[in-house]
Chain A
Amino acid sequence: MTTSPTLPTFQAKDFKSDLKPIWCPGCGDFGVVQAIYRALSAVGRPPHEIAFVSGIGCSSRIPGYTTAYGFNSVHGRALPIAQGIKLANPDLLVLVAGGDGDGFSIGGGHVPHAIRRNMDLTYIVMDNQIYGLTKGQLSPTSPKGLKTVTSEYGSLEEAVNPLLYVLAYGANFVAQGTPADMAGLADIIERAIRYPGFSFVNVQSPCVTFGEEEQQVKAHRANMKTLASVGHDATSRIAAMDLAQQYGRTLHTGVFYENPTPPTTMDGLVRERQQAQVGEAKPRARVLERFIQK
């Protein structure tokens, strides 16, 4: 009765830890973590072969709610830590998670470099357009004009557009989802994990406590448009950038861009170079000779 009669080895519940989430009831992140469990089950790697790194914020609690190895690290520094982990152990499946503030404000400078290095990581940003954990300050993706405790008369700044940001820096897999469509979100995350190289998933994950009414899951359900329904060609970066400009006005979900010919990842290039240099390697006792002036 199924399209794939062979049952995967792992079920979604195998990736769920015993730790109970303490997010506010109604938070979008509950749906995101469920979608991650399902995507991991479909990918089929055992929890001990997965490393999950996050920064700081409500959404950065996610690694603790999985059975993978987790590192709830430093604010904005999830990507450098994840790159180090991947470089040290390329066989690990490495996921990175955080909020829009963690990724595009505090850690904003790390995103372009993670993209240009193109290590095989999946970066999931839970974009709620607010700093929720610290009680509702303006965040990099807050819409212009938003009134918060730090913008009493309305924000004067334009919002960062995460989709356009990563597309402009050359990301080879860029997608957006919402917990209003769990099946779609699980599918997007699975595709991002399977993509060989740096992949980026922006999840519009509403803050139920400090978020605006039009950003809540009910509004997503009513207003979202799948990219398939608008006939988008996900192999065209230009078409993706064109659609991405509607961020903040139209909620498009699906894969914006997937480079059909993925370039070799940095971890792959490192391995290639190591293999090429095997013949030139010096015995351990003579390694220092390379650095000694004769």
Chain B
Amino acid sequence: MEKTRSVDFGALTLKDALDLATLVEEEAKDRYEELGDQMEIHHNPEAATFFRWMRRIESKHEDQLAMRRAELFGTAPRTVRREMIFDIEAPEYDEARAAMTVREALGAALRSEEKAFAFFDAAVSQVRDAAVRALFEELRADEAEHQRLVQAEIDKLPPDPLVRADDEGDEPVAQ
């Protein structure tokens, strides 16, 4: 599926690339916030806490990129828009389940980091500007490191119980 719309990677400038990368982090931050809210509404505080923790991490990445952009380009207007990107580092909505375990939530986060890695990996081969290529290679390496960190968290967890909460619970309440 298309992950971007109207983005010409060959013509991307460093300013555009930094804006695009910032928006990727913003999209992921917003999605984790939504997932945290969904889990809270459906009485799953453990998964809600995890997704909100991920939200803070993505927010930190977004701030770091925005700061870098401001240092290099000040307040020059942005020409890329959030509407041009689709779920690049944000977990897909269908990853979520009302009774998901923290291990499953971490699995969703891991797949999101893998998606982001694949995005920057594909973009590197399309960009022409050397500075943009260097930035995307750096971001690709960051995503690989994030995958390692998330996997390390998964490895610390005990296995999920054989009987799941949604095996014995009622379906979600009527709205």
* Interface of A toward B, CB cutoff 8 Å: 1-5, 7-8, 11-13, 20-28, 30-31, 34, 38, 41-42, 58, 61, 133-136, 179-184, 186-187, 206, 208-210, 216-218, 221
Tell me which residues across on chain B come within 8 A of A41, comparing CB atoms: 83
Report A220 CB to chain B, min CB distance, Å: 9
Given A28, A184, A187, which contacts B94 in the complex, CB threshold below 8 Å? A28
A217 to B96 CA separation, bound complex (whole angstroms) = 12
Chain B residues 64-118 with CB under 8 Å of chain A are 79-84, 86-87, 92-98, 100
Tell me which residues across on chain B come within 8 A of A182, comparing CB atoms: 1, 86-87
Given contacts A2-B80, A135-B174, contact A27 B8 (CB under 8 A): no
Given contacts A25-B42, A183-B1, contact A7 B79 (CB under 8 A): yes
A selection of 10 A-B contacts at a CB cut-off of 8 Å is A1-B12, A1-B16, A2-B8, A2-B79, A12-B83, A25-B35, A25-B97, A181-B1, A182-B1, A209-B98
Tell me which residues across on chain A come within 8 A of B3, comparing CB atoms: 183
Report A235 CB to chain B, min CB distance, Å: 24
Given B12, B98, B175, which contacts A61 in the complex, CB threshold below 8 Å? B175
Tell me which residues across on chain A come within 8 A of B94, comparing CB atoms: 26, 28, 31, 179, 206, 208, 216-218
Tell me which residues across on chain B come within 8 A of A136, comparing CB atoms: 171
Chain B residues 149-175 with CB under 8 Å of chain A are 171-172, 174-175
Given A11, A187, A208, which contacts B81 in the complex, CB threshold below 8 Å? A11
Contact string against A for B residues 25-41, beta-carbon threshold 8 Å, 1 for contact and 0 otherwise: 00000000011011101
Q: Are A24 and B172 in contact (CB under 8 A)?
A: yes
Nearest neighbor of A187 in chain B, beta-carbon distance: B5
Q: Are B96 and A25 in contact (CB under 8 A)?
A: yes
Report B31 CB to chain A, min CB distance, Å: 10
Tell me which residues across on chain A come within 8 A of B83, comparing CB atoms: 11-12, 38, 41-42, 186
Interface size, chain B (Cβ < 8 Å): 39
A186 to B172 CA separation, bound complex (whole angstroms) = 28
A262 to B174 CA separation, bound complex (whole angstroms) = 42
A84 to B13 CA separation, bound complex (whole angstroms) = 50
Nearest neighbor of A34 in chain B, beta-carbon distance: B93
Most buried by A among B5, B34, B96: B5
Q: Are A20 and B172 in contact (CB under 8 A)?
A: no
Given B4, B8, B92, B174, which contacts A133 in the complex, CB threshold below 8 Å? B174
Known A11-B82, A23-B175, A26-B93; 9 more pairs at CB < 8 Å: A20-B37, A20-B41, A25-B96, A26-B98, A28-B94, A42-B83, A61-B175, A181-B1, A217-B94
Nearest neighbor of B39 in chain A, beta-carbon distance: A25
Q: Are B82 and A2 in contact (CB under 8 A)?
A: no
Report A127 CB to chain B, min CB distance, Å: 16
B131 interface residue (CB < 8 Å to A) = no
Report B78 CB to chain A, min CB distance, Å: 8
Tell me which residues across on chain B come within 8 A of A25, comparing CB atoms: 35, 38-39, 42, 96-98, 100
A217 to B93 CA separation, bound complex (whole angstroms) = 9
A12 to B26 CA separation, bound complex (whole angstroms) = 13
Contact string against A for B residues 1-19, beta-carbon threshold 8 Å, 1 for contact and 0 otherwise: 1111111100111001000
Given A8, A31, A58, A208, which contacts B175 in the complex, CB threshold below 8 Å? A58
A290 to B151 CA separation, bound complex (whole angstroms) = 81
Nearest neighbor of B93 in chain A, beta-carbon distance: A30
Q: Are B81 and A1 in contact (CB under 8 A)?
A: no
Q: Are B93 and A179 in contact (CB under 8 A)?
A: yes
Given A134, A217, A221, which contacts B174 in the complex, CB threshold below 8 Å? A134
Most buried by A among B37, B79, B94, B95: B94
Given A2, A24, A181, A217, which contacts B42 in the complex, CB threshold below 8 Å? A24
Nearest neighbor of B38 in chain A, beta-carbon distance: A25
Most buried by B among A8, A23, A41: A23
A39 to B73 CA separation, bound complex (whole angstroms) = 30
Q: Are B98 and A24 in contact (CB under 8 A)?
A: yes
A135 to B172 CA separation, bound complex (whole angstroms) = 9
Tell me which residues across on chain B come within 8 A of A7, comparing CB atoms: 79, 81
Tell me which residues across on chain A come within 8 A of B5, comparing CB atoms: 183, 186-187
Tell me which residues across on chain B come within 8 A of A38, comparing CB atoms: 83
